[in-house]
Amino acid sequence: MKITSRPAPPTGWKRRFLRMPITLYRWHLGWLLGHRFLLLEHVGRRSGQTRQVVLELVNHDEVGRGTGAPDGYVVAAGFGTKSDWFRNLEAHSRGRVQVGRRRATVEAEFLDSDAGGDLMAHYGRVHPKLAVRLCATIGFEVDGSEADYREAGRKIRFVRLRPVRG
């Protein structure tokens, strides 16, 4: 694995373009994005106001497959730990997610580098073409091997959003 360049979070027109899926959720059309993306509502660390971001799901765990009871949604901080949503969750770990039509209150759990390596290796096996593009987007050149994905995953911060029971 080779680090090409770690991009900064998008600004200007690129940021506006990447935030367009939020409008789909506001119009109750978030289900059009399927189960590969989620809308995360979180509290701003300084303002205390509700903020929203749409993130790609890296993994969706379920307790007792087939029960429909979610155990967690895993997302990656692709633009690093300087992303506002990541820093906001560090300050206030509770938020709300919407995946398709399902909504849940969640608690953020920040995963260590070994868990990140395992997650990226799994993502590379399940979505080989997308994994190469995802790594390229966030500044990693990978050869498609599990070892390369594991190494890239150790450098990416992952967050598991666990639904709060009760």
The pair of three-digit structure tokens given for residue 138, joined into one six-digit string:
């966030």
Which residue has better confidence, 45 or 60?
45
The matching CATH number, chosen from 3.40.50.300, 3.90.1150.10, 3.30.200.190, 2.30.110.10, for 2-163 is 2.30.110.10
pLDDT band at 69, cuts 50/70/90?
very low
- Would you say residue 71 has pLDDT above 80? no
Confidence check: pLDDT of 64 > 50: no
pLDDT one-digit tens code per residue, 6-54? 666 677 888 788 788 998 988 988 888 888 899 999 999 999 999 999 9
How confident is residue 95, by pLDDT bands cut at 50, 70 and 90? Answer: very high
105-158 tens-digit pLDDT: 999 999 999 999 999 999 999 889 989 988 888 888 899 899 999 999 999 999
Give the long-range contacts of residues 19-22, CB within 8 A, separation 24 or more: 19/53, 19/54, 21/54, 22/52, 22/53, 22/54
Q: Is the pLDDT of residue 55 over 60?
A: yes
**Domain residue spans of the chain:** 2-163
Asked if residue 65 has pLDDT above 50, the reply is no
- Provide the pLDDT confidence category of residue 60 given band limits of 50, 70 and 90: confident
Q: Is the pLDDT higher at 69 or at 50? A: 50
**pTM of the predicted protein model:** 0.84
